[in-house]
A and B are shown apart, each in its own frame.
Chain A
Amino acid sequence: MLEHIVPALSALLEPVRLLALFAGMFAGLVFGMLPGLGGVAAVSILLPFIYLFDSYAGLALLLGATSVIYTSDTITSVLVGAPGSPASAPTAIEGHALARQGKAATALGVGFLASMVGGLFGAVILSLAIPVAGPLVLALGTPELLMFAVVGLVFAAGMVGKDIAVGLAAAAFGILLGTIGAAPAAVDFRFTFGQPYLADGISLTIVALGLFAVAEVVGMLASGGGISNERLPLGSWREGARAFVAHRWLIVRSALIGVFGGFVPAVGASASTWIAYGHAMRSTKDKSRFGKGDIRGLAAAEGANNATVISDLVPTLLFSVPGGPAAAVFLGALFSFGFYPGPRLVRENPELMYVIVWSVAIASVVGAVICFAITPLIARLTRIRFAIIAAPLLLIMVAGAYQATQSFGDIAMLLTLGVVGWLMKQADWPRAPVLVGFVLAKPMEQYFWLTVQIHGWSWLLRPGVLVIGALIVIPLLLRLAGHLRARRSRAAAAAAAGIRMVAPLRKERRTDTRIGLAVAWLILVVFVYAAFETAGFAPDSRLLPMLAIAPGLILGAFVVVRETRRALGEGVVSDSAAVAEIPYLLTILAYGVGIWLVGFDIATIALLIWMLIGCARMRLATGIAYAALILATIHGMFVLMRVSAPAGLLDLAILS
């Protein structure tokens, strides 16, 4: 087996194959940076081109793209705050906060290096694991997979933040979003309002973009006028290298979590990224910086997501079961080259296996180097007026959301969730728990249902389940013991000194009272409606929604009462910055309605004119030229993605 490592490398180093690998990397780097367009979009677009090459080169083209997406998405996440791909949402949270503190270079440096380590780890594991991973994948039955989802949820519990009621309500809301679509075994279609669009549930891309990116775009537009005074200094790369060395073990552990996430089909990069992020939080004493720019959260997330996409290939190659959506396309490519993954392929085609390993390893390293090289160029973009960047950014997001199913529902859902994300941002509700709840809801429900059906309740005594359960319970017990000890010694010390412990003064940003109330009511109304509809489901379909609705109703009502009392007690606090953003938010919503009525082109031209000339105050001629360029680029993307631009009611009426 191992004697094939060197011949595989020399096979890959043939000029055409190397060219294909680099072409794939180029596409991957671009798609990683574009929010909403990630691995699946990149490999789907590249798929027709693989037939131009021989099999190794064609596969290298796809692997080059998948291996660098989670490296370059760091750039967008850190500099703009919009997740470059759904699995980099933690990077957007922590990295963008760091960038605002002038530490963009630190965040990016750690992000690139952690991604590289994750990729290399994935490659090493892929080469080592192929002989041994088979039994491991087969050892993980449905009960073990269920336990992994539970571990993820417990880890994520650390993310609810200071305001526990709000954090838990957000998590419940996320789980509820995750229950939209077919219940297991498709006996009930939940919260679909008769729309086939919702039958598959909402896509993760749209939830991540809606919650995080739309709010950023609105903020950019509102800050639009002159040259941004918030220009982002990069800071020093050296600090990034230092932080990377300091957190090397955290990154390694996260890469391992990521590798594991890849082994398990149907637990994607997003889930393992959040689990790694939760791990970073739990293994840190001082959690106060998380959510406000903690390099550890970013390091863990980036180490994990790249490792996952690569180890996704393990079940793909061993069992012909794709570990993730991008791996599914890769599997299709393997088929079309006449390779049928399975133990036999691994035995009979060792050179192919090592070509795959080398492609991934080379792309991971070179991709990180390229990211370092292009970052100063990209950082210069952030010195341009934000409103000028906001326009193409919003359009790319809309196009990215739309290309998956090509239905208007995607655009409507993106903008609706955008409003929710904006409201939550202004009201200081944490958005990470929503995403975590959403990501884990489906595997939890699916594997719980399968586990109970197949194993009854005996699954609770399976050795694998007990081991994973211990992973949850033992740290909890240890922490509890630590807490008790600390409290006792602190109380003793306080008593000895004869002073009273003073609760630290709560310092918080004053959020707008009306927006706070609006979010609280919105969440409560959503849960009340959900409770009403859930009553009509079959008992098995009711379980998970009720798990979200029961706490959601109580917490929602609690927050409504609390916010109302706050409003009555303190009077209405107004956050003028937030209020000033409302017209921009409404215009973006109007853009959605515009697409629906008059189609993509007319609505987009109107939006671009408003954004560029109205918000960014570009000169008429420059604005029109720039708008034309953006529109042409988007249409070029539509052609590449073989997508027709959304037509409006008016277009359809004229056609028919």
Chain B
Amino acid sequence: MSVIDKRLLFAAAACIVVAGPANAQEFYAGKRIQVIVPFSPGGATDVAARFLEKYLERHVAGNPDIEVVNRAGGGSVLGANWFAENAEPNGQTILFTTSSTSNPFVLGQEGVEYDLAAMRPGYSLPFGAVAYIAPSAGVTSASEVKDADVPLLYGGIAAAASDLPALLSFEVLELDIKTVLGFPGRGPIRLAFERGETNFDYQFTPVYATQVVDMVAAGRATPLWTGGSVAADGRLTDRDPAFPELPSVYEVYKDLNDGAEPSGLAWDAFQAVGTATYNYGLTAFLPEGTPDEAIAAFEAAIPAINADPEFQSESAQVVGGYQLIPPSEVEGPLLAALRPSPEIRAYLRDLLGAKYGVNF
């Protein structure tokens, strides 16, 4: 370190001392943030967390040093449990989650020791999904989905994890789709679709945008709809901003039912699970009791990140071009989705138990 660097550092340190910790601007100055990714390196969640690392370091006031740490296991439950038990509420440990973390919590699965709804969201990225169908089914748009020429077959991983919103969308739309669960991953499912072993699939936006669009262009897949995104009134009715040309599940329901609004437990359950899975699909949580200064630092940084031209061009490729959502906009709708009414929870557990044989 050169003398000048040292002087700068001293000057910076002096500033912190003078300004004091009360100044939210400097909350993260000289601090290190550990971002816990409860999945193995190389997966979609890990890639997104590492993608955001650079921009958070650049734009969060005080330029904290950010480090992504993988703690995989138990389908993300182990890492989240560890976080709940060990993370100090000092803003320096963050849990980066997907629906694989939130769905077991919503369902109250055995082994879940973390209370996501008590934690504080720091920042969030949507993780939309697109439904598409094989051309051999003879379906050219969402409105024809009930008139397929062949029986529809959907490949998934596990009913109670990231496939849950897809399965619920079938309930809402009252589709007759056979589901084959137990694939080893979303990639092998895509291969099975390409081989013609299945003919209906949902893929999350980043994969859809980099892999499936080529299949669509080559005439080997037809996009149908997206899960949708949360409207100003908190309902999952808007179109997915990454695919404004595709209808949301909400619109497809209205289209298939002569304009009637979806309602009932299936729709409420889809809204709760879909909100957590799609609109706030990748959410960073801080422990309960984290000081407001930490949350405010993220709140202030997010508009700057969204305006960063490098972020805009890279996010189009890595995470489907979504904008980061600040904590003030995450908190209300996400926490409501994570705490569904007892009726919705009972509905979900009944559905998974009776139709998909899940033992709770």
Asked if A229 CB lies within 8 Å of chain B CBs, one says no
CA distance A406 to B64 in the complex (A): 25
Is A266 an interface residue, CB under 8 A from the partner? yes
A540 touches B194 (CB 8 A): no
Select from chain B the residue with minimum beta-carbon distance to A452. B180
Task: List, in ascending order, chain B residues with CB within 8 A of A344's CB.
Answer: 214
Within 8 A of A (CB), among B149-208: 153, 155-161, 180-185, 187-188, 190-192, 194-195, 197-198, 207
Interface pair B197/A538, CB less than 8 Å apart: no
Cβ B51 vs Cβ A187 within 8 A: no
Decide: B158 and A196 in contact? CB cutoff 8 A.
no
**Once the chains are docked, how many angstroms separate the CA of A332 from the CA of B356?**
32
Interface pick from B73-81, B246-254, B323-331? B73-81
B318 at the interface (CB under 8 A from A): yes
Chain B residues within 8 Å of A338, by CB: 314, 317
8 A Cβ contacts from B2-54 to A = 40-43, 46-47, 50-51
* Least CB distance, A21 to chain B, in whole angstroms: 20
User: For residue A40, which residues in chain B have a CB less than 8 angstroms away from its CB?
Assistant: 40
By the criterion CB–CB under 8 Å, are A320 and B211 in contact? yes
- Segment 327-351 of A: residues with Cβ below 8 Å from B: 328-333, 335-336, 338, 340, 342-344
B346 CB–A CB distance under 8 Å: no
Q: Are A320 and B210 in contact (CB under 8 A)?
A: yes
Q: Is A142 an interface residue (CB 8 A)?
A: yes
Task: Decide yes or no whether B311 CB sits under 8 A from chain A.
Answer: no
> How far does the Cβ of A202 sit from chain B's closest Cβ, in whole Å?
11
Inter-subunit contact A141/B197 (CB<8 Å) = yes
Interface residue tally of chain A, by bracket? Answer: 35 or more
| Contact present for B42 and A332 (CB under 8 Å) | yes
Residues of chain A within 8 A of B110, CB atoms compared? 189, 194
Contacts of B180 in A (CB 8 A): 450, 453-454
Does A642 lie within 8 Å of B357, measured CB to CB? no
A565 to B4, CA, bound (A): 84
CA distance A184 to B46 in the complex (A): 24
Report A-chain residues with C-beta under 8 Å of the C-beta of B188. Answer: 265-266, 321
Is the pair A332, B50 in contact by a Cβ cutoff of 8 Å? Answer: yes
- Chain B positions within 8 Å of A395 at CB level: none
Whether B74 and A196, one on each chain, are in contact in the complex, defined by CB atoms closer than 8 angstroms, is yes
Interface extent on B, as a size class?
35 or more
The answer to whether B358 and A187 have CB atoms under 8 Å apart is yes
B154 to chain A, nearest CB (A): 11
Does A182 sit within 8 A of B, measured CB to CB? yes
Count chain A CB atoms within 10 A of each CB in B42, B82, B182, B207 and give the residue with the most: B42
CB-based nearest B residue for A410: B73
Taking the nearest CB of chain B, how far is it from the CB of A87, in angstroms?
18
> A322 CA to B40 CA in the complex, in Å?
13
Q: Is the CB of B43 within 8 A of A332?
A: yes
Contacts of A185 in B (CB 8 A): 156-159, 181-182, 356-357
| A200–B38 CA distance with the chains assembled, in angstroms | 13
Are A330 and B42 neighbours in the complex by a CB distance under 8 Å? yes
Bound Cα distance from A643 to B330, whole angstroms: 31
**Chain A CB within 8 A of B71 CB:** yes
- Give the residues in chain B near A330, CB-CB below 8 Å: 42
Residues of A within 8 A of B314 (CB): 338
A:135-189 near B, CB below 8 Å: 137-139, 141-142, 182, 184-189
Instruction: Report yes or no: B210 in contact with A342, Cβ–Cβ below 8 A.
Output: yes
Q: How far is the CA of A189 from the CA of B72 in the complex (A)?
A: 18
Chain A residues, CB < 8 A from B181: 184-186
Nearest CB on B from A235, distance (A): 40
Once A199-B111, A321-B187, A344-B214 are accepted as A-B contacts, the answer to whether A336 and B41 lie under 8 Å apart by CB is: no
* Complex Cα–Cα for A321 and B318 (A): 16
Q: Does A325 contact B (CB under 8 A)?
A: yes
Q: Which residues of A contact B195 (CB under 8 A)?
A: 138-139, 141
Q: What are 25 residue pairs bridging A and B, where the CB atoms are less than 8 Å apart in the complex?
A: A142-B197, A184-B181, A185-B156, A185-B159, A185-B181, A188-B359, A196-B77, A197-B73, A200-B73, A200-B75, A265-B188, A266-B188, A319-B211, A320-B187, A321-B187, A335-B318, A340-B317, A404-B73, A407-B73, A449-B182, A453-B180, A454-B155, A538-B357, A538-B359, A642-B67
Per CB-CB distance, the 3 closest pairs between chain A and chain B, nearest first, are A184-B182, A321-B187, A332-B42
